């Protein structure tokens, strides 16, 4: 039995404030909302405040956050500034890890800070193509999770949403097969139980070229509790189709 889904859109560096407001207004007025499915958007920072004033059913989150509260950190945004504006903070997206060189240690500080400021968090992990091809997928994921969660209380880790996003499947049109995704999701869930002694009920989202045509097969897998969607979250049609598709899995 599925407990429900989180369907999240990661807009990355796309959409002006005006476009963001139009998109979210469209969602609020045109999709059916369902208690079992949380609809979440990660827009660029500059849109967050405007969106926070208009959202009713849609949840919003920031794509990044620095761990300090204030100070000489040019260009950064702090948890204190996001408070009251966002529900969620996204931490460790592969573009942050790989383009901006964010290390497991830095991401651990960000995750701790976001949790201590009361945000819900989505923490991303995923292997690169060469890591998969050399048989190191599980090793990489394990290290990202163990280092990312180091020093965080069990009761707080329980509430972290994990997003598994194989780097080779992001924005490439190559999706992991539902079986490939399921295998890693199951590995992550078992790690949460064996290493952190959790009940294994964390939401684990899949990300990487999710679109309406493949979302049903992915979301039907036992350990896939939702999706983190880049490209297909930028169009109202494809994003709302994925949301509506997920309802049918919960109520076949």
Interface residue with ligand PGA among 70, 134, 143, 171 (CB under 6 A) is 171
Least Cα distance to 42 among 203, 180, 196, 163 occurs for 163
Residues 6+ apart with CB under 8 A from 225: 2, 3, 4, 5, 6, 203, 204, 205
CB of 207 vs ligand PGA, minimal distance in Å: 4
How far apart are the C-alpha atoms of 244 and 32, rounded to whole Å?
8
127 C-beta neighbours (distance < 10 Å), count: 23
Of 66-74, 140-148, 201-209, 215-223, the segment contacting ligand PGA by CB under 6 A is 201-209
CB of 8 vs ligand PGA, minimal distance in Å: 8
Of 25-33, 62-70, 109-117, 202-210, the segment contacting ligand PGA by CB under 6 A is 202-210
CB of 210 vs ligand PGA, minimal distance in Å: 5
What string marks each residue from 130 to 169 as x (binds ligand PGA by CB under 6 A) or -?
Answer: -----------------------------------x----
How far apart are the C-alpha atoms of 240 and 252, rounded to whole Å?
18
* 165 is a catalytic site residue: yes
CB of 229 vs ligand PGA, minimal distance in Å: 5
What residues pair up with 162 in beta bridges, in sequence order?
123, 204
Residue 210 sits in the site that holds ligand PGA (CB under 6 A): yes
CB of 71 vs ligand PGA, minimal distance in Å: 29
Interface residue with ligand PGA among 31, 122, 170, 224 (CB under 6 A) is 170
- The site for ligand PGA, by CB under 6 A, has a size of 13
* 185 is a catalytic site residue: no
How far apart are the C-alpha atoms of 193 and 201, rounded to whole Å?
9
- On the CB side of 59, CA atoms within 13 Å amount to 17
The H helix count followed by the E strand count for the chain is 11, 8
Least Cα distance to 63 among 15, 130, 3, 4 occurs for 15
What string marks each residue from 225 to 244 as x (binds ligand PGA by CB under 6 A) or -?
Answer: ---xxxxx------------
- Whole-number Cα distances in Å, 98 to 5, 127, 151, 167, 186: 28, 11, 24, 9, 25
How far apart are the C-alpha atoms of 249 and 241, rounded to whole Å?
13
Catalytic residue, candidates 102, 127, 165, 185: 165
Q: Give the residue at shortest CB distance from ligand PGA.
A: 230
Residue 208 sits in the site that holds ligand PGA (CB under 6 A): yes
Report the residue number, 68 or 241, with the smaller CB distance to ligand PGA: 241
Interface residue with ligand PGA among 43, 92, 148, 207 (CB under 6 A) is 207
Residues tagged active-site: 93, 165
Report the interface residues with ligand PGA, using CB under 6 A.
Answer: 10, 165, 170-171, 207-210, 228-232
């Amino acid at each position: 039995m599925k407990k429900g889904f989180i369907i999240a859109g990661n807009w990355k560096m796309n959409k002006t404030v005006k476009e963001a407001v139009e998109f979210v207004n469209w969602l609020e007025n045109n999709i059916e909302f369902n208690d079992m499915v949380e609809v979440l958007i990660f827009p660029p920072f500059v849109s967050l405040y405007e969106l926070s004033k208009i959202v009713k059913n849609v949840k919003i989150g920031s794509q990044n956050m620095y761990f300090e509260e204030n100070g000489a950190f040019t260009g950064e945004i702090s948890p204190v500034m996001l408070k009251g504006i966002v529900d969620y903070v996204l931490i460790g997206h592969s573009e942050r890890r790989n383009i901006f060189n964010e290390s497991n240690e830095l991401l651990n500080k960000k995750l701790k800070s976001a949790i201590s400021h009361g945000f819900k968090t989505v923490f991303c992990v995923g292997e690169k193509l060469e890591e998969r091809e050399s048989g190191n997928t599980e090793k990489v994921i394990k290290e990202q999770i163990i280092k990312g969660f180091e020093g965080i209380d069990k009761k707080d880790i329980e509430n972290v949403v994990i997003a598994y996003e194989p780097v080779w499947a992001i924005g490439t049109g190559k999706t992991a097969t539902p079986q490939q995704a399921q295998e890693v999701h199951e590995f992550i869930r078992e790690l949460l139980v064996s290493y952190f002694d959790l009940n294994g009920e964390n939401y684990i989202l899949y990300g990487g070229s999710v679109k309406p045509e493949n979302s049903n097969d992915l979301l039907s897998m036992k350990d896939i509790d939702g999706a983190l969607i880049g490209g297909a979250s930028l169009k109202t049609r494809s994003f709302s189709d994925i949301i509506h598709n997920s309802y049918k899995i919960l109520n076949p």
